[in-house]
Chains A and B, each alone.
Chain A
Amino acid sequence: MTGSFGSFVAGAARAGRLVVQPRMGFSDPYRMRHGLERTKFAAACTVGTLTLDSYTRLGDHAAVRDALAAGVPLNGYPLVDLPVERTRALLHGIADDTFPVQVRHGSSRPEHIVRAAAAVGLDATEGGPVSYCLPYGRTPLRESVARWARGCELLAELAPPPRRPHLETFGGCLLGQLCPPGLLVAISLLEALFFVQHGIRSVSLSYAQQTDSAQDERAVRALRRLAGEFLPADVDWHTVVYTYMGVFPGTPRGARLLLEDSARLAVRAGAERLIVKTVAEAQRIPTVEENVRALERAAVAALLSDGATGPADPDSDVYAEARTFIEVTLGHSADVGRALLTAFRRGHLDVPFCLHPDNAGRSRSTVDAAGRLRWVATGAMPVRPDAPPDRLMSSAALLRALRAVADRFDHRPLETTR
């Protein structure tokens, strides 16, 4: 049985170590075991990951079984359709108090994954009723909310005390890029509140690195302050930064610089954990070795960075905007799930460029000349646009914005790279 994910991260934070974690999933159990072993023994403070395949995410178990029977490799570890004993053997001697393993999946219908994880002794996973629904697929938001409520309750039930099951919000990532940080922070916080309301007492709140490091720092600090303000005192929580989730630099050097920037962001803003990307990210699914190099590089960048400075978590534009979204949403209902449904139905929360039918689709964002994310249009949301409407995106401008970070890091001059 694995140790508590939350207490491991808390212990590392007390020791001044940033926890680093890969995204890693292979259908071949030998390769998966190798990946976990190499992660565990990397020169870094690490936790492990089982990333599941996309058929399992969609609940298409017939497709998983066909692929397994035919020996066709999948794009992740098919936890649900493999025998329990196989996965227990895979984790034996690896997942323990010094190395908790988290299940990452992306499903809007997580119950079967929670059951399968619990059956092999794993009690840490991630997602959320909004973040695993709106950006992907076609599950109605109402159904995702109901299923995530059940998923949380199942996880709490199947890993009873003294175990402390852990859930991480994916709400800090919505569509990966071009969402202004106030909304990312608000959704991440609201999803954490949702988890707590459904029986989870150890959570982490995510934020994905965006286009501007100062804006990102304000965002992570806002997330930390809001977590302190809104989560019950007996809930264990930490924050996790994702290395950039949008179009990744195509050159190894650009990819390394972006990864190092994310590690420094995490340390500077006081986040306890970082999920890394690799130099292969722009091309294909990374190998185990590429993942290990990314973990070690991020750990070194974190160790050599200056650490958090200035007042703990000050007022900022991002804090104010996120707080507005949160207050308006929670004003709709004491039940966070219901509050989220009302907020999206009325367009009080409106994810830019999100095509899901349950998203209002009236908000628009852009990257301004200084590289910061801004609102061009806010629809019915309780915040004002902070960029002129003439910056409404053309298709060419959208491509430029989607590639802005990749281009900047691919072409960054040597002297500014430290």
Chain B
Amino acid sequence: MPKNSISNQENSAAFEFKSSIITVPVIHLFNGDSTLFSQQLHDKVNQAPSFFKNSSVLIDLQDVEEQIIDLDALVKIIQTASLLVIGIRSGSKEQQQMAKDLSLPIFDKHSEGLAPSNEKKPEEILTPEVTPLRNPAACENLLITQPVRSGQRIYAKGDIIITAPVSPGAELLAEGNIHIYNVLRGRALAGVLGDESALIFCSNLQAELISIAGNYRISEDIDDTLRNSPVQIHLDQHALIIKNI
């Protein structure tokens, strides 16, 4: 019965508007020079071609508002790098007019997402209070001879050297290396600012968590053969390597 089917189609909605938040890579342009841009973009894309392939991007013009840029050329360069421009953000009036001529949407300066009305508050980042046992300014490295108790947190701009036990629930954070000539039962985070060459040494590994430059391993994932024994820990291509010493 064709008549019926037509009326059914008429009743059913063909589409609906919904707001949705997606994450888009943004190219923050610092320099309007298109040859420089072309070269650097291709270098970047060549590092991970499959990652960038057909990815949509937004061009942020906030830093080049004062400059004269050739938006048309930039868009073409981006297209040849197999990226798709889905719009611009900020920009001077002239730049925004150029975007309109290219039928590119213009996003508001302050909106971070595609749904400015639903703007989410940025998640609050907790920055825990750090109470160094001794004044780290006096010495880059920190020597601790008293037990580090549960709930205590020690931060050193250099290395941390400890001759007493580190209790479960205690946290050691060092921008450099961590040496523990005793039991480590708490957490030890070396190279907290990203130093991948940082090392952790301890004479008895019972740690809750170990981490070097953000690459961490929890207690559960530490091999039983390495527990309760003296170890050296280093980072090898984002993998924590624990070695008996």
A and B interact physically: no
Chain A residues engaging chain B, CB cutoff 8 angstroms: none
Chain B residues engaging chain A, CB cutoff 8 angstroms: none
